[in-house]
Amino acid sequence: MIQVLTNNWSTLLTGFGNTLLASVIALFFSLLIGSGLAIMETVPSKTARVIAHIYIEIFRNIPLLVITMFFYVVIPQYVAPMSGFAAGTIGLTLYTSSFIAETVRAGIQSVDPGQMEGARSNGMTYWQAMRHIVLPQAFRLVIPPLGNQFINLIKNSSVLAFVAGFDLMYQGDALASATFDTFNTYLVVGVFYLILTLPLSYYMRYLEKKLA
Q: Is there a domain that residue 13 lies in?
A: no
Q: Whole domain around residue 157: which residue ranges?
A: 18-167
Position 211 scores a pLDDT of 74
**How many CB atoms are closer than 10 A to CB 66?**
10
CATH of residue 101's domain is 1.10.3720.10
The torsion angle over the Cα atoms of residues 23, 26, 31 and 35, rounded to 10 degrees, is: -160
* Percent of the chain scoring above 90 in pLDDT: 73
Position 179 scores a pLDDT of 86
Residue of 151, 159, 146 whose CA lies nearest to 67: 159
Q: Where does the pLDDT of residue 208 fall: very low under 50, low under 70, confident under 90, or very high at 90 and above?
A: confident
Q: Cβ-count burial of 107 within 10 angstroms (0-12 exposed, 13-18 middle, 19+ buried)?
A: buried
* Averaged pLDDT, 34-51: 94
Q: Is there a domain that residue 10 lies in?
A: no
Residues 156-206 pLDDT 10s: 999 999 998 989 999 999 999 988 889 999 999 999 999 999 999 999 888
CA 131 to chain centre: 22
Q: Where does the pLDDT of residue 5 fall: very low under 50, low under 70, confident under 90, or very high at 90 and above?
A: confident
The answer to whether residue 9 scores a pLDDT higher than 90 is no
Q: Is there a domain that residue 115 lies in?
A: yes
**How many CB atoms are closer than 10 A to CB 181?**
16
Q: Is there a domain that residue 35 lies in?
A: yes
* Percent of the chain scoring above 70 in pLDDT: 99
Q: Where does the pLDDT of residue 210 fall: very low under 50, low under 70, confident under 90, or very high at 90 and above?
A: confident
The answer to whether residue 80 scores a pLDDT higher than 70 is yes
pTM of the model: 0.92
Position 212 scores a pLDDT of 67
The Cα–Cα gap between 68 and 72 comes to 6
Average pLDDT in the chain: 92
Position 125 scores a pLDDT of 86
Residues 103-125 pLDDT 10s: 999 999 999 988 888 888 888 88
- Helix and strand numbers, DSSP H then E, in the chain: 12, 0
Position 135 scores a pLDDT of 92
Q: Is there a domain that residue 182 lies in?
A: no
Q: Is there a domain that residue 8 lies in?
A: no
* Averaged pLDDT, 31-57: 95
Q: Is there a domain that residue 183 lies in?
A: no
Q: Is there a domain that residue 12 lies in?
A: no
Number of domains observed in the structure of the chain? 1
